């Protein structure tokens, strides 16, 4: 295993299978790069991102995936005591003897070329730090069993919302984006349970993609595979699945 600090080399490694690594590719941007630590070995590459209150490990294997476990094992001493992970099964297995994994679900990485999306039919508006209380309330209502939202995420890129009678009932935002790398990854897409099945998530997602159209070549997102309505929504917008990973909060034993 070796730590890779050359951005061009990291880019070359990640873009062999870009759909699996859109989050990491976005983090090559100057805004995120200082908070990254990339490691490579056994034909695999992982990222530890430390720019949030909770560090994030992206250990998404390239095919053949079996060697990712070896890289994670070699990287164990570099890991913080607590972090959130997007993990291939082999990465999760390598962690389990040293960390407890609170698995939140199996996540599908999906992506689309933003120019292919239809115009949103709903009125959406910019939301941000001034709306933090409402954003947190909506995230809790939409994801009572957990999720992964931190206020610092509002700095990553545009966040948009839909209101009904003045109340924020749907939202979506940006996990990472880079005009240089020409990728964006959406996140924190949520609809209040009382306002679902009205096309609001599709409207917010389409509006976000419209913001990035012309600035990026691909837009990605992650979605729990158990969330069939959401997958149907994104597929209807043209998103296709690239890979599946385990989403888990990890704590050292």
The answer to whether the beta carbons of residues 57 and 51 sit under 8 Å apart is: no
Report residue 86's pLDDT band, with 50, 70 and 90 as the boundaries.
very high
**CATH architecture, domain defined by 111-242:** 3-Layer(aba) Sandwich (3.40)
State the Cα–Cα distance between residues 30 and 4, nearest whole angstrom.
Answer: 16
- Residue 82: phi, psi to the nearest 5? -135, 140
- Report the percent of the chain where pLDDT is more than 70: 99
The Cβ-side half-sphere exposure at 155, using a 13 Å CA radius, reads: 7
- Answer for the pair 10, 45: CB distance below 8 angstroms, yes or no: yes
Q: Between 144 and 47, name the one with better pLDDT.
A: 47
Q: How far is CA 209 from CA 101, 114, 147, 156, 180, in A?
A: 33, 5, 22, 15, 17
10 Å CB burial of residue 223 (0-12, 13-18, 19+) is buried
Give the pLDDT confidence score for residue 146 in this predicted structure.
62
Q: What separation, in Å, do the N-terminal and C-terminal C-alpha atoms of the chain show?
A: 23
pLDDT tens across 43-64, in order? 999 999 999 999 999 999 999 8
Please give the Cα distance from 202 to 120 (Å, whole number): 8
For the chain, the structural domain boundaries read 2-108, 111-242
Contact of 199 with 218, CB cutoff 8 Å = no
Q: Are 223 and 108 in contact (CB under 8 A)?
A: yes
Give residue 119's pLDDT. 72
pLDDT digits (tens, 9 = 90+) for 7-34: 999 999 999 999 999 999 999 999 999 9
């Amino acid at each position: 295993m070796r730590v890779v600090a050359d951005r061009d080399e990291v880019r070359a490694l990640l873009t062999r299978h870009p759909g699996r690594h859109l989050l990491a590719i976005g983090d090559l941007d100057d805004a995120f790069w200082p908070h990254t630590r990339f490691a490579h070995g056994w034909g695999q590459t992982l990222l530890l991102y430390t720019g949030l209150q909770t560090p994030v490990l992206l250990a998404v294997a390239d095919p053949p995936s079996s060697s990712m476990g070896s890289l994670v094992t070699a990287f164990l001493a570099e890991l913080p005591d607590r972090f959130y992970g997007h993990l291939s099964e082999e990465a999760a297995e390598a962690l389990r003897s040293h960390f407890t994994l609170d698995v939140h679900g199996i996540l599908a990485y999906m992506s689309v070329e933003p120019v292919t999306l239809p115009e949103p039919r709903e009125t959406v508006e910019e939301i941000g730090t001034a709306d933090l209380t409402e954003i947190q309330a909506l995230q809790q209502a939409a994801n009572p069993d957990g999720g992964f939202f931190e206020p610092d995420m509002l700095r990553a890129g545009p966040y948009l919302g839909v209101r009904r009678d003045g109340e924020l009932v749907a939202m979506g935002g940006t996990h990472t984006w880079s005009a240089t790398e020409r990728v964006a990854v959406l996140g924190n897409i949520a609809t209040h349970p009382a306002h679902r099945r009205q096309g609001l998530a599709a409207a917010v997602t389409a509006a976000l993609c419209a913001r990035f159209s012309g600035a990026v070549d691909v837009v990605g997102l992650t979605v729990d595979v158990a969330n069939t309505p959401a997958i149907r929504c994104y597929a209807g917008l043209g998103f296709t699945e690239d890979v599946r990973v385990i989403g888990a909060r990890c704590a050292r034993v």
